[in-house]
Structure 1
């Protein structure tokens, strides 16, 4: 009877062992949750419960529990089962059925592609992170990120699988890859690394140009030296030199085919020959030498007068010499007398220029000159000139005296002619009483009135020049005697004669 009871108990245990079952999902994708349930045992019957994968123990519980895989990956694929251990000898160890789980790929590993893996420097490159979702999960959203040498490119994660790089340079050479992940951040996959090698083009055709206001360079202005190349990639190093010294004036390195060097204010000493060099790592190439002239405005000129003698006189040849000590040729000189233009003279090679003038009495006064080379005219100080000597200002005084003397003589000559005509009329009426004409020159002191009636012709105006030969001034004396109304009154009138003495000073020539 006891034996029969034991057989019944063992049969029940065996039946319970056969009922242990592992419940697992039939379809799993990357990122999905996997829940394993071990069913058929009660908590009071077991000492422990374990879950296994490919005969490896995954987890052990002291009671009936589920096993959770939060986010499945491809490596979670395998054969799973569970087991229990009884609390006493009446409950032996049990094993569940084997559940085969295959985790399917949600999307393929991305592949990095580029528009060119050997781009030319300066050219754009398009990177693309290519992958494909499972047909059963086309609704899954992905985001992408691109990397170079562990450095994130662009704006980190983006929904776009493409990245545009505007220009690639030699320093951009390196390893590139991309990553794709689900928006839920459960599954992330990385592409293989791809090498991008940027090709550099050597520079060519280096040239130097100058830029100055108005096209010509004047002292004090800004000068720009432009160094450029027609071809070349990458960082180009530009440098400028002066041929006379060979020293560098400046260096610039930049991603461009040209660069400028500015000289804020050039000096006369900056004139000369210049060149530039360009280098992008292959070799340094020099431009042609360019001559840069610096035009100098004229300084204030100096006027110098040169005459044959110590004093200037009418008829002399006066040389006016104008010279600006500084100024770029050609220089045009203008000559002035009292601000009236006399003429001009040019100096094609610089220096001074002369102007000859034949003097007249009107050429006394101030003289000046002006220098102009197109950069602004400069005027000299005025130089006074006084024309002297026998043909100078004394001749002017003599001429004025002679004119006044002639006017006086002409005036008295008219009066004399008038008196003569009056006396001639009287003498015609009293011809019997007239004496013969005395053929001699009157002297003022010879009017002695010894004759009762003087000769009427001797009553003409008399002119006498007073002064010796050595004296420069000549005086002329004129007497005028009026005719009386009757001969009886002649003596009385002669005693009361009206004499006029006129002095006119005239220079001798």
Structure 2
């Protein structure tokens, strides 16, 4: 009796190919090789029986030219004839057109009267048929199947043993026995080893290190054997225990539109047959999501970060390496570190038609993809303001000074970007300069002398154009000239006093000689009541005091003479005349 046959062929739709597989449309199928098939799908037969071999191109296309091999030697060549009928034991193979040869299959034609026919390979979940085949008809009541030497109790006795949903429990050595009269016939032994239909799947991600917010494709990789390359599988993808998508599908790939850092968690997949009788899941897989690093590109018009007041300022922002859709916004950080979102800035460009000093600060762009924000580096904008016309002022408040007086000139512009350089001039000759970062201006001190009388002015310059102040004329106060004027004025005043005094003396002498004034008699004093002569209308002496008034705009000093009323006295000594009193006043 022959032993167990070589498991080299398939049965019932089993196509033999090389065990080289590649993914095609999400499924893993055989590489382009020649394919050989058998009909009926057994590898053991009784002597005298025949089996038909068929050769195809990959994809089950009929070839135009076929070569048949036996024991790895060319047996036959056919044109447009894909089949070959054989009756003898041996190793057979074929080659379709120019494709590589197929696998070789061993066929056994036994001389025994009883054989057990079985498929060469059994996969988990298969429905397996073991057939007890004899030259003569077999009565069911005389047939028994055994496994590992133990008779199997079957509900129905017939020539076929059916195994449904094969698994590892069905592994073992099978044979069949037929009792006829007093004789017993046993078949060859067939070893059944249930194999996995496919290995455990492996979950991979593409790209392997996706960027935060970018899409990623998961692939559940497994491999079907060549004998079952036509089997259909379905794939399921999970994040932790949550099923992704709408459920399982025939595609071995699943696309995540956007994956985030916080989703760098446990993923796994499951591959199973369409009837779910065979299924396996991958190990847990963590996707190393890299936090996105936005690549900002900012453009400035004008190209310099130094902008003059009144100029156009245009800022534009573009972002790379950040998944969209993106919303762009512009922000400004002022000198006090206060941040402000700029109005109407939710776009790539921000425009200021005319820049002023308040627009100075740091500008930055923010990109938001509804999940996370990305901020660009700050763009410092400096606004330069030209200086305004400076004002020149004097510390003493007047334009005339005495010889040796200390003069302070102060020059200040109300507007202008620092640093401002102030320079002082006398008659177009520079006296010196001073620079300042503050807005308080600059000062220049000098001692006044006759040689320094003249026009003074200052300039202010911050590099954006110098500005000149109005000129101020400063002169020396001439004491000699002022004294001569005072003497002349004093002489005129003295002559005036003498004239007035002479008139008064004449008036007084007329009264003393008995003359009567042109007045009413009733108003004269009584003779019995003598009194000292008292003068009400004209004072005994009018003191004239010179008062000096100086106009800063002229060099001449004028003298003003004022009259002051002396105090009245009850008694006046006759020996003291008004003339002597005025003279004394003059002397004084």
TM-score by length of 2: 0.30
TM-score by length of 1: 0.33
Q: Which has the higher helix share?
A: 1
Q: Which has the higher strand share?
A: 2
